[in-house]
Chains A and B, each alone.
Chain A
Amino acid sequence: MIYGADVSIVLVTIAILFVLTYYKKWGWLWREWLTTVDHKKIGIMYLIAAILMLFRGGVDALLMRTQLIQPNMHFLKAQHYNEIFTTHGTLMILFMAMPFIFAVFNVAVPLQIGARDVAFPYLNAISFWLFFFAAMLLNLSFVIGGSPDAGWMSYPPLSDLPFDMGPGENYYILALQITGIGSIATGINFFVTILKMRAPGMTLMRLPLFCWSVLGACILIIVAFPALTAALALLLIDRIAGGHFFTMLAGGNPMMYINLFWVWGHPEVYIVVLPAFGVFSEVVATFSRKRIFGYTSMVASIMVITVISYLVWAHHFFTMGAGPGVNSFFAVASMIIAIPTGVKVFTWLFTMYAGRVRVPAPMLWTLGFIPNFAIGGATGVMLAAAPADYQYHNSYFLIAHFHQVLIGGTVYGMIAGMYYWWPKMFGHRLNERLAKHAFWWFNIGFYVCFMPQYFLGYMGMTRRIFTYSPGMGWATWNLISSIGAYMMGIGFILIAADIIYSAFYGERDTTGDIWDGRTLEWSLPSPAPHYNFAVIPQVNDRDAWWESKQQRLEGKEVTALQYKSPLRPIHMPKSSGRPFVLSVCFFVAGFGLVFNWYILGILGFLGVGLCLILRSFEFDTDYYIPIDEVQHTEKAYGRLLHGEQ
């Protein structure tokens, strides 16, 4: 099967190269995409990469579920199974969920706050390419050398020498390390963007809730990722330089790794779910045609979650010998998170209350999310009760819980966001009929797949076993669970089919405001011109765009959203190929270190250094779009501007 995969990878690569050459698209690809610093295009590339990784991770999942259909199956070997669940977990969290949220960050944040780009466009491109080549590095492990096999948490001593000699673990460490640099940069980038680049008049309490959630996620990225960086760096030293940071020998301690890992790991789950909360808030308000209920409560709950989620990491190892005092602290702290989470769910419900609820695809995924999250949050609280967790820990109950919140929260949220902003990205909408089918296959499949896993937990089934014997009563639930997984697979294929179908036949959006939206991005044409706003808007209210529409309806002069200033030349950053080259160098360095080929590693790092030095001597990094060109573009969109009427 591995050979099959290898062959298909090679074939797909050749096909892509052929198509690009045949249609003479190389120049286009380089100019328009590989060198772009436009946040909208970077968002689209993140999105494509995330969907591809969702596919790869999904195939992993189906392979595992197939192996578990029956007791004593001989479909995958133990080693193979271990590699698959390790790459599955790693890919899904770091190379699917993270780029997916970054995709919506990039697509929506600058448009929602009335900005022309992110604070550091060049850095944004670097972040993307670092993620992209890190993902390639991890995927390469499947083809060359062998995949990591110590679990996505890679606890030492199992992940340390001599229990794990192969290059797989090195791939894991280096890929995470490289993408981690990109993630920290993105966190800083959007943190600054939201705080510094808001349109005049947009106070923090007028900030769309999605941006608030991104702000929370960015704070968590900035404080949490360095812990992962440190943990991985020390583990790498253990592995390639014979250190003993994480073995008890020579005075090290694996608990140190476990603490560092979860100091990152727990906030990480909130990093990926907070933006989903943000998407739901936007979607619920838009499709209920109503102001969000309890905006202040929402902001407060986001911030409370941001702070508390940083203080609960030890609930991932209640059973590692901490005293009752420590366990009590972390148990209660974890439960407290359920309070703001519960508040959010109620707030979404009250937003729909006394509204006018439409249910197109984005809303469908949002509504599907609510029961999921109610249940997933409840099982989270059940897990947080430390003595109960002595029974749940490492069992299928845990697996069911975190898939319920990660899929039911993050993935549903990102898919909702994808449907919601798709017209804004591509100028056409996705097909509703296909979207509905996709949703129902996925959603019902989800319950069929994961509900049985709670019961398997109660039956004593532990996670990460590649086989089990008959007589435990686990077989029926496992079979049902696998069927659910296939149903979700069908749902995914329908989404992919929708994307392809709609590219050709999807309803075009000529208004720019296809959902009757509330926030600034809907005041722009779809897709937005590359400078976003011809004139930076003046904001006088929350839901600025909705208010201006209301005023227009009432025949008043539109004051909510005024173009105060006349057209001026627009200052934009220049495209650059260097982020791409820099990331290739990182890839080369990482690849060298994976196999302990230090010369290659050093060459790669020299390349990185050279890129940085060249950048620091570069002064000609921006340009102005002349007024004529802006006017021309705006006319083509059929938009008259205040300044030139």
Chain B
Amino acid sequence: MRFLRFLPSSKIALVLIPFLLSGCGEQYLLFNTAGPVAKIERNLILTTFVLTAIVVIPVIALMFYIIRRFRDEPNNSAPYRPEWSQSHKLEFFVWGIPVLIICVLGILTVRDTFRLVRPTTSMNGAPLTIQVTSLDWKWLFQYPDQKIATVNYCEIPTNRPVRFILTSDAPMNSFWVPQLGGQEYTMPGMAMRLWLQADKPGNYFGSGANFSGREYAHMKFNVVAKPESDFQQWIKQTKSTAPALTMDGYKNLVQQSVVDKQTYSSFPPGVFEQNIKSEGGMYMKHELKEATD
């Protein structure tokens, strides 16, 4: 029964996948969700997993069964029909089952795709806007309404949709906070939008996801979610204690370097919009307006 030697590798895989997908272990960030966006995405992930498993598992099982049943051994009593090569009934199922599954998946996917364009929960009060700029090799967060800025971390209030507006003053990157929801690219001269929301307080891992040069691996940041009152407190404290980010300071940040977390009580007004315009955004006035207001 040499064919049984197929088993170990694929069996381990099959046993492990559902076990790990059940979300035990908080290091599986995609399942350890902390907000509505990530939850929708996780549910879609689980649905697609189950629906595809409906094909994958029988295919693998069938394969082992067939090899075993129809081995070319002298005393094998299984039927041998060398000319049998057509069966409309079988072919109907062969096409039909995948078609059905893909229909279901397609509908769910389209539904969720449209769902994530807007904030996923109704807003009480205005959303928080944070302007994110990927730099070589750090992340700059500006709060246009609060007029403060941070580097390599940002704080957000819980239970309030956050509108991230993304751009880059360096090669493009991608802004990703797995526990809050999926990523979106940051591109020079463009402003992209990503809605995220945290339901519970916590310190969430974020990173740049698109390769952007030598020290790209160090482009990590934290998103700290805390209750609204604590968040307001933090703003107040930042405004009174942190230093200001000057134009020179910004130009310094743009240089290639790896830096630690930083906090600023203010930033040069318009530096975000200015950067987009000067990186080529002036050729895309319409898109720029749409994305930034």
Contact A248 B27 (CB under 8 A): no
| Contact among A292, A321, A353, A384 for B190, CB-based, below 8 A | A321
Contacts A157-B172, A290-B85, A462-B207; is A357 near B60 (CB within 8 Å)?
no
Distance of A553 Cα from B21 Cα, bound (Å) = 56
Interface of A is mostly: helix
Distance of A387 Cα from B116 Cα, bound (Å) = 8
| Contact among B8, B42, B184, B205 for A319, CB-based, below 8 A | B184
Contact B41 A248 (CB under 8 A): no
**A393 close to chain B: CB less than 8 A:** yes
Distance of A384 Cα from B106 Cα, bound (Å) = 9
Interface string of A617-630 (1 = CB under 8 A from B): 00000000000000
Contact B280 A359 (CB under 8 A): no
Contact A371 B102 (CB under 8 A): no
| Contact among A289, A378, A443, A467 for B82, CB-based, below 8 A | A289
**B12 close to chain A: CB less than 8 A:** yes
Contact B67 A352 (CB under 8 A): yes
Can you list 25 residue pairs at the A/B interface with Cβ under 8 Å? A151-B211, A157-B171, A289-B72, A319-B184, A328-B113, A328-B114, A342-B98, A349-B59, A349-B62, A349-B63, A350-B87, A352-B66, A356-B76, A371-B10, A375-B13, A377-B52, A385-B108, A385-B109, A387-B113, A388-B48, A393-B182, A394-B174, A395-B209, A444-B8, A451-B12
Distance of A147 Cα from B170 Cα, bound (Å) = 22
**A440 to chain B: closest residue by CB:** B5
Number of interface residues of A (CB under 8 A): 101
A251, A352, A385, A468 pick with most chain B CB within 10 angstroms: A385
Contact A462 B176 (CB under 8 A): yes
Contacts A346-B59, A370-B63; is A158 near B6 (CB within 8 Å)?
no
Chain B neighbourhood of A250, CB < 8 A: 280
Distance of A353 Cα from B56 Cα, bound (Å) = 18
Chain B neighbourhood of A386, CB < 8 A: 109, 112-113
Chain A neighbourhood of B212, CB < 8 A: 158
Additional pairs, 9, CB under 8 Å, beyond known A254-B187, A352-B70, A387-B116? A155-B171, A289-B80, A294-B91, A370-B63, A374-B59, A388-B45, A391-B178, A458-B30, A462-B209
Contacts A335-B109, A370-B60; is A443 near B45 (CB within 8 Å)?
no
Q: Which of B138-146, B149-157, B213-221, B242-250 contacts A (4 or more CB under 8 A)?
A: B213-221
Contact B52 A381 (CB under 8 A): yes
| Contact among A255, A288, A459 for B27, CB-based, below 8 A | A459
Interface residues of B in 103-149 (CB under 8 A from A): 105-106, 108-110, 112-117
**B86 close to chain A: CB less than 8 A:** yes
A249, A339, A395 pick with most chain B CB within 10 angstroms: A339
Contact B181 A390 (CB under 8 A): yes
**A142 close to chain B: CB less than 8 A:** no
Interface string of B1-44 (1 = CB under 8 A from A): 01101101110110011001100010111110000001011101
Distance of A455 Cα from B181 Cα, bound (Å) = 17
**A450 to chain B: closest residue by CB:** B13
Distance of A395 Cα from B207 Cα, bound (Å) = 11
| Contact among B182, B217, B280 for A249, CB-based, below 8 A | B280
**A468 to chain B: closest residue by CB:** B217
Interface residues of A in 326-378 (CB under 8 A from B): 327-328, 331-332, 335-336, 338-339, 342-343, 345-347, 349-359, 367-368, 370-371, 374-375, 377-378
Contacts A248-B189, A331-B110; is A458 near B70 (CB within 8 Å)?
no
Contact B55 A385 (CB under 8 A): no
**A280 close to chain B: CB less than 8 A:** no
Contact A331 B59 (CB under 8 A): no
Contacts A321-B184, A458-B20, A465-B217; is A371 near B171 (CB within 8 Å)?
no
Contacts A343-B98, A354-B81, A370-B59; is A251 near B283 (CB within 8 Å)?
yes
A160 to B: closest C-beta gap in Å? 9
**A474 to chain B: closest residue by CB:** B27
**A3 close to chain B: CB less than 8 A:** no
Contact B172 A155 (CB under 8 A): yes
Contact B9 A357 (CB under 8 A): no
Contact B67 A371 (CB under 8 A): no
Distance of A138 Cα from B236 Cα, bound (Å) = 56
| Contact among A157, A297, A368, A370 for B95, CB-based, below 8 A | A297
